[in-house]
């Protein structure tokens, strides 16, 4: 029980948070925390640096938006449909990309994501650079009105918790252990008889699906899907969140996402408004130079040393 007490406290705080902090901001934070955690599954535990995760995140946000706005699907089905399409995209891109390692893997994912970007720019259903606007929030399970920010918040929190549990379960399962083994020494894992391509592909698809889940949820929160979500900047931002929070730690990416989103949000209206990209860049440099394990990684190390 003690092992999970930290998470239970965090969950308790998240349940209470919207009474003190603006709920729409918290929902955005949760969406990005899920996105970064999904990304961490393949980077932190699989050792695969994907530079194309925006394609899954943004792709699902467009698909969900279209499904809700044009087809009139119920909210939860729309989000699941978006996540499923992201999973399929992950399968297609993953099958190509996992044949290569390191920088070549990153470049293939980037190239495929750029293709997805151009597809979304030129498809009429996305509204091009104007974005897909006015997506209805609808109701959860046909009875809870999501137009209310509070009920929307608990809906998003539920999705986040489910997504987070899937990731935690995956990491601690035998599958996750094999994934870590592949990350640490691919040849040894292969010599032990594991079909490493299948493991990598499955991890990639799970990660893409959950990234899509986050993207679809974000569309419902903001009632819009825009090119920002499929742009390669987004792929870079999620790497930054993951590294800042702590690579290969369960809670790290969520913390990293929290830091980045909070900075983006609060710096935007202060005297540093014109300097947001610079501030984030400086933080990244400091993180890489001074605490390479990320915030959560360093904390964990500190606790280990103390006791």
Q: Binding to other proteins by residue 1, rule CB under 8 A?
A: no
231 vs 293 by CB, closer to other proteins? 231
Q: Binding to other proteins by residue 20, rule CB under 8 A?
A: no
Between vectors from CA 30 to CA 65 and to CA 280, what angle results, nearest 5°?
Answer: 100
- Distance between CA atoms of 178 and 198, rounded to whole angstroms? 11
Closest alpha carbon to 224 in 73, 65, 110, 74? 65
Q: How many residues make contact with other proteins (CB under 8 A)? A: 33
Q: Binding to other proteins by residue 81, rule CB under 8 A?
A: no
164 vs 222 by CB, closer to other proteins? 222
181 vs 267 by CB, closer to other proteins? 267
- Distance between CA atoms of 237 and 127, rounded to whole angstroms? 24
Q: Minimum Å distance from CB 48 to other proteins?
A: 27
Show the tokens assigned to 163: 């997504």
71 vs 118 by CB, closer to other proteins? 118
- Distance between CA atoms of 58 and 82, rounded to whole angstroms? 10
30 vs 182 by CB, closer to other proteins? 30
Under rule CB under 8 A, which residues in 216-275 are in contact with other proteins? 218, 222-224, 226-229, 264-265, 267-269, 273-275
Cα 105 to chain centroid distance, Å, stands at 19
- Distance between CA atoms of 78 and 262, rounded to whole angstroms? 28
What residue has token string 């920002």? 228
* H-state helical runs in 223-275: 232-245, 252-267
Under rule CB under 8 A, which residues in 116-145 are in contact with other proteins? 121-122, 124, 127-131, 133-134
Q: Minimum Å distance from CB 231 to other proteins?
A: 9
Under rule CB under 8 A, which residues in 27-46 are in contact with other proteins? 28
- Distance between CA atoms of 223 and 124, rounded to whole angstroms? 18
Q: Minimum Å distance from CB 170 to other proteins?
A: 28
Residue ranges binding other proteins (CB under 8 A): 22, 24-25, 28, 121-122, 124, 127-131, 133-134, 149, 218, 222-224, 226-229, 264-265, 267-269, 273-277
């Amino acid at each position: 029980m003690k092992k999970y007490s930290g998470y239970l406290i965090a969950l308790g705080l998240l349940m209470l948070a919207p009474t003190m902090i603006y709920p729409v901001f918290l929902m955005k934070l949760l969406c990005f925390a899920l996105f970064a955690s999904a990304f961490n599954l393949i980077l932190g535990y699989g050792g695969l640096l994907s530079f194309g995760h925006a394609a899954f995140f943004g792709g699902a946000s467009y698909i969900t938006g279209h499904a809700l706005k044009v087809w009139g699907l119920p909210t939860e089905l729309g989000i699941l449909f978006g996540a499923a399409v992201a999973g399929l995209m992950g399968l297609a891109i993953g099958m190509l990309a996992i044949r290569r390692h390191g920088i070549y893997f990153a470049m293939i994912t980037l190239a495929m994501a750029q293709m997805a970007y151009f597809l979304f720019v030129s498809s009429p259903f996305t509204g091009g650079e104007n974005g897909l606007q006015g997506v209805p929030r609808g109701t959860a399970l046909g009875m809870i009105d999501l137009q209310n920010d509070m009920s929307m918040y608990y809906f998003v929190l539920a999705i986040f918790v489910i997504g987070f549990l899937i990731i935690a379960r995956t990491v601690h399962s035998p599958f996750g252990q094999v994934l870590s083994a592949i990350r640490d020494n691919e040849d040894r894992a292969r010599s032990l008889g594991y079909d490493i391509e299948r493991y990598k592909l499955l991890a990639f698809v799970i990660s893409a699906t959950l990234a899509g889940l986050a993207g679809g949820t974000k569309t419902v929160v903001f009632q819009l899907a825009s090119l920002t979500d499929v742009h390669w900047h987004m792929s870079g931002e999620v790497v930054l969140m993951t590294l800042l929070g702590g690579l290969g730690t369960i809670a790290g990416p969520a913390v990293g996402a929290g830091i980045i989103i909070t900075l983006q949000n609060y710096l935007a209206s202060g005297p540093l408004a014109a300097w947001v990209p610079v501030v984030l860049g400086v933080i990244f440099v400091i993180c890489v130079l001074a605490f390479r394990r990320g915030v959560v990684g360093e904390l964990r190390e500190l606790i280990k040393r103390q006791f």
